Amino acid sequence: MSLSALPQLETALDKTALAIAFEHPAGDLPPISRVRKVIQRFSDVLKDAFFTGLTADRVVRLRAAALDDIVIQVWRLFELDASDHTLLAVGGYGRGELHPYSDIDISILITDALNDVERQEIEGFVRYLMDLGFDVGQSVRTVHETRDAAAADITVITNLMEARVITGPRAIFYDIQAEIATTRMWNSEDFFTAKLSEQDRRHERYNDAFQQLEPNIKESPGGLRDIQVIAWVANRHFSSQGLSSLVGHGFLTEAEFNVLERGRSHLWRIRCALHFLAGRREDRLLFDHQKRVAELFGYTDAGSNRAVEHFMKDFYRTVRELSRLNEILLGLFQEAILQRDREVRTTPLSRRFQVRGNYIEVSNESVFVRTPPALLELFLLMQKNPTIKGVRASTIRLIRANLHLIDDSFRRDIRARSLFMEIIKEPRRIGHELRRMHRYGVLPAYLPAFARVEGLMQFDLFHVYTVDEHLLFVVLHMRRFSYPITEEDQPSLVRQVIERIPKLELLYLAGLFHDVGKGQGKDHSTTGAEDAEEFCQNHGLSLFDTNIVTWLVRNHLLMSNVSQRQDIYDPDVVAAFATTVGDQMRLDYLFLLTIADIRGTNPKLWTSWIHSLLSELYLITLRRMRSGGESPNDKTERIRETQAEARKHIDSSRFSEHAISVLWSTLGDAYFLRHRAIEIAWQTETILGADDADLPVVAVRNFEGRGSTAIFIYAVDMDYLFAISTATLDRLRLDVQDARIITSEANYTLDTYNVLDAETRSPVDDPLRIQEIQSRVRSSISAKEIPAMRTGQLGQRRLQPFKFPAAVGFSIAQAQSNTVMEVIAPDRPGFLSVIGRAMQNCGVRLHDARIATIGERAEDYFYITDFCNQPVISLETQNALRETIIRDLNA
């Protein structure tokens, strides 16, 4: 390989300058810095050429050619050219494909064991390359050692299959080629099986999903490694190099080969850009690179979607297509390699399909042309026959070739509509088959609303998957309510509710449509409801069922918002929610949709605390519906019942009825409306068991089914207590989920924080950690100082691309007793402490807080009054508070 093949960049690596750089007096080595300057000039020229239009294909081949020149110079420098050793390039370097900062993998073949002088020469050679700034992967083996290593390790044999001689005698290379031939080791079947297993493990590391937030260009499903797996298997089976040979062998059509080539070129271009922008090897398409690459490639904002979202949508489409081809080709290899000499039983399944070796296939190649609805029938048959492992590759190819048949006429065909509804109603494998329909292109072809959101990402840390992947994960989680894989899939309340659902297909349709309205610059809930209504009407659903589905899509965020942003113990909040929902059946459907939606959005978002909030809201609302609502007098009755229940949990042998009554008389109605009986009992015992000398008291407890750790603080009311407490909890790596602040008539504060461990997103149950929490919080309050913020809390690298201006808004709470302050801002260390300090400085008292951090975005709600416990209605106070919070958050 030579630069002369690329005359317009012939001077990219200045060979004359390189030769001069390697000149040196006898006994000395040329200075590393002098050689590195020549290499750096080459890298700069290559980078400039790429940014001005040089293709990635030429970049990777230019770099491999340049590395040959450099490596040969270093080889000669250590007089290895006079030895009988052979230097091989292996792996990507062996293919002549080196990205800007990729490793260089080499293998040194030796005839016999090395003596001390030879060992020092080779060690010096490798060390010098590393000193030049290259990441070197290397091995030094005899032919027999190489043969043994290749026989034992699939990675070694794979590298050697792509080896080429850089310099040295070729005879030994021919010897090793003979030793690793398929007749001696790793025949086609063994090699294919090992590579398929290797790919399955790699895909599993990425949750078998290519549409992830920060995908790995090389390793993720549908990435460059998937293309290379095809080439490796073809190489081993056909003893040929490159993907083009598969066309001649009938494994690839010309069109499929062109798709592979375009896909690889696209991913190569992205990978080159990542390497050049990062100034190092970087195969992850990180947030801070996504925007820069999109801009570099000329993407612009269009409509309601940003340039980066358009860029990522093209990326996802590319890897989806590559993933489909990977599945087809490996399926064809499986049939040709693993099943070629085996008698495979064929069993008729219907007039149009049969099963061959546990894989479904068409009975003849004209099935889809003659009966287009068979494109849906295939998936229904797979649901009904769970022993079928998959679809034969030849049939997948036919599906792809006949997708054009799914047009408006197809969608109006009563046979197609009936088949699709049968798929939705089938009690088995709906999640799996919808994902398969998506993978083969059938689902987006049949549902245009779904096609609109295919590959649509949302540039934030909240949504882990693209919209289409999210919708399918939601349906998958819904299915697991009935057929759980883990205990978490079916909590007891979910099990009770799912058994009452009259028509599960309505739940699945709501899950499939709830986000299809995104990306259009409108309210996605309303747009999605319109799409769902049209689908239901076209597919023969009754007016009642249609209304259920459209109501669920339109209100799919309702329960999540109420549970996480409002006080679910406020009767007025529950009354308003119950009125909107209307009846128990809708409540049941909405409860299940909400859980599946959150779990399908981000695995880290679903916590036991969120589950407990939703469950409590569900049960409180259900009680209200069954009782027919509350009158104002019912609040008094509710407080009386709560106090009576709390007394049952209090140790009457330690605490007198009189002491309890005196304490409770100072706490006010809000305390008993906002706390559960068991919490009241615990806090009452904590307070009555303490003396003034014990203040401040800090107690920690985990309540069964609560899903969080409760931290209770009892102290004389003081300035900046909320700021001090939350700053301390932040330094303890605890995430506050909920805060309830009560000030008694006796001027004591009763503050309750429900927290989760910031790392595990679970309650704190380690006794030593609990002791540390109590000690640190008590010390901070006693010192009356706000602890310094800690750094590195949120992974600032990931947050940097998502900076947006903070916003603070005010409204009057439903009960009219306080003001709701909403703060939406980028999350940061000490967020709550900043707000607590601002409230104190502006003469505002906090009574309750709902904390919701969504990815990079904090959306918190604070229920506040002035120091006279009146709503904050003064515009002057509101503006002062807003300006202070925004200023301090930006500090």
Q: What is the pLDDT of residues 674-703, one digit of tens each?
A: 888 999 999 999 999 998 888 999 999 998
Question: What is the average pLDDT value for the chain, to the nearest integer?
Answer: 89
Q: Which residue has the tokens 């992974």?
A: 795
Q: Which residue has the tokens 């008291």?
A: 697
Q: Of 642, 817, 850, which Cα lies nearest the Cα of 737?
A: 850
Q: Are 450 and 516 in contact (CB under 8 A)?
A: yes
Quick: pLDDT tens for 117-148: 999 999 999 999 999 999 999 999 999 999 99
Measured between alpha carbons, how far is 646 from 637 in angstroms, rounded to an integer?
Answer: 14
Measured between alpha carbons, how far is 511 from 430 in angstroms, rounded to an integer?
Answer: 12
pLDDT of residue 11: 47
pLDDT confidence of 170, banded at 50, 70, 90? Answer: very high
SS (H, E, C) 469-511: HHHHHHHHHHHHHHCCCCHHHCCHHHHHHHCCCCCHHHHHHHH
Burial class (CB in 10 A: 0-12, 13-18, 19+), 599: buried
Single-letter amino acid, residue 615 = S
pLDDT confidence of 378, banded at 50, 70, 90? Answer: very high
Residue bearing the bigger pLDDT, 501 or 343: 501
Q: Are 243 and 261 in contact (CB under 8 A)?
A: yes
Single-letter amino acid, residue 623 = R
Q: How far, CA to CA in Å, does 765 sit from each of 405, 708, 755? A: 58, 10, 12
Q: Which helix (H) or strand (E) holds 887?
A: helix 875-890
Single-letter amino acid, residue 745 = E
Measured between alpha carbons, how far is 605 from 607 in angstroms, rounded to an integer?
Answer: 6
DSSP state of 760: T
pLDDT for residue 9 is more than 70: no
Q: Are 331 and 393 in contact (CB under 8 A)?
A: yes
Q: Of 71, 22, 67, which Cα lies nearest the Cα of 43?
A: 67
For residue 209, the SS3 value is coil
Rg of the chain on CA atoms, in Å: 33
Least confidently predicted of 365-374, 552-561, 745-754: 745-754
Burial class (CB in 10 A: 0-12, 13-18, 19+), 609: buried
**Quick one: the chain helix, strand, coil %, rounded to 5?**
55, 10, 30
Measured between alpha carbons, how far is 66 from 43 in angstroms, rounded to an integer?
Answer: 10
Measured between alpha carbons, how far is 828 from 885 in angstroms, rounded to an integer?
Answer: 13
pLDDT confidence of 2, banded at 50, 70, 90? Answer: very low
Q: Are 319 and 222 in contact (CB under 8 A)?
A: yes
Strand positions, DSSP E, 290-352: 346-348
Residue bearing the bigger pLDDT, 869 or 871: 871
**Could you tell me the two tokens for 840?**
């104190």
- 7 Cβ contact partners less than 8 Å away, ≥ 6 residues apart: none
DSSP state of 84: S
Measured between alpha carbons, how far is 547 from 533 in angstroms, rounded to an integer?
Answer: 8
Quick: pLDDT tens for 633-682: 567 888 899 999 999 999 988 999 999 999 999 998 889 988 889 999 99
**Could you tell me the two tokens for 661?**
């009554």
Strand 353-356, strand 709-716: pairing: unpaired
Measured between alpha carbons, how far is 8 from 343 in angstroms, rounded to an integer?
Answer: 57
Single-letter amino acid, residue 366 = S
pLDDT of residue 602: 77
Tell me, yes or no, if the pTM score tops 0.85.
Answer: no
Chain centroid to CA 518: how far? 19
Q: Are 372 and 379 in contact (CB under 8 A)?
A: no
Q: Are 851 and 739 in contact (CB under 8 A)?
A: yes
Q: Of 653, 661, 704, which Cα lies nearest the Cα of 679?
A: 704
Measured between alpha carbons, how far is 213 from 802 in angstroms, rounded to an integer?
Answer: 13
For residue 512, the SS3 value is helix
pLDDT confidence of 218, banded at 50, 70, 90? Answer: very high
Query: b/e per residue, 118-146, with b = 16+ CB within 10 A?
Result: beebbebbbebbeebebebebbbbbbeeb
Least confidently predicted of 409-413, 418-422, 767-771, 847-851: 847-851
List, in sequence order, every residue forming a beta bridge with 789; answer none if it has no partner. none
Query: b/e per residue, 468-505, with b = 16+ CB within 10 A?
Result: bbbbbbbbbbbbbbbeeeeeebbbebbeebbeebeebb
For residue 305, the SS3 value is strand
836: alpha, beta or left? (left if phi > 0; alpha if psi -120 to 50): alpha
pLDDT for residue 367 is more than 80: yes
Mean pLDDT of 864-869: 88
pLDDT of residue 5: 40
In the chain, DSSP finds a helix count (H) and a strand count (E) of 40, 17
Q: Are 605 and 462 in contact (CB under 8 A)?
A: yes
Measured between alpha carbons, how far is 670 from 680 in angstroms, rounded to an integer?
Answer: 12
pLDDT confidence of 210, banded at 50, 70, 90? Answer: low
Angle, helix 254-278 to helix 32-51, in steps of 10 degrees: 130
In degrees and rounded to multiples of 5, residue 104 shows phi and psi of: -110, 120
pLDDT of residue 812: 84
DSSP state of 165: E
Measured between alpha carbons, how far is 371 from 335 in angstroms, rounded to an integer?
Answer: 26
Measured between alpha carbons, how far is 352 from 349 in angstroms, rounded to an integer?
Answer: 8
Q: Are 101 and 136 in contact (CB under 8 A)?
A: no
Strand 136-142, strand 104-110: pairing: parallel
Residue bearing the bigger pLDDT, 28 or 32: 32
Quick: pLDDT tens for 88-97: 999 999 999 9
Q: Which residue has the tokens 């036919």?
A: 398
For residue 249, the SS3 value is coil
Measured between alpha carbons, how far is 886 from 888 in angstroms, rounded to an integer?
Answer: 6
pLDDT confidence of 564, banded at 50, 70, 90? Answer: confident
Quick: pLDDT tens for 35-63: 999 999 999 999 999 999 999 999 999 99
The 10 Å Cβ neighbour count of residue 758 is: 14
Q: Of 138, 134, 57, which Cα lies nearest the Cα of 103?
A: 134
pLDDT confidence of 341, banded at 50, 70, 90? Answer: low
Measured between alpha carbons, how far is 749 from 562 in angstroms, rounded to an integer?
Answer: 26
Give me the sign of the Cα torsion angle 617, 623, 628, 630. Answer: negative
Least confidently predicted of 22-26, 339-343, 350-354: 339-343
The 10 Å Cβ neighbour count of residue 704 is: 6
Q: Of 446, 465, 443, which Cα lies nearest the Cα of 456?
A: 465
Percent of the chain with pLDDT over 70: 94
pLDDT of residue 430: 93
Quick: pLDDT tens for 258-269: 999 999 999 999
**Could you tell me the two tokens for 546?**
């249609």
CB-side neighbour CA atoms (13 Å) of 101: 17
Burial class (CB in 10 A: 0-12, 13-18, 19+), 840: middle
**Could you tell me the two tokens for 664?**
């409770």
- 876 Cβ contact partners less than 8 Å away, ≥ 6 residues apart: none
Measured between alpha carbons, how far is 528 from 470 in angstroms, rounded to an integer?
Answer: 15
Mean pLDDT of 470-486: 89
Least confidently predicted of 69-73, 160-164, 427-431, 486-490: 486-490
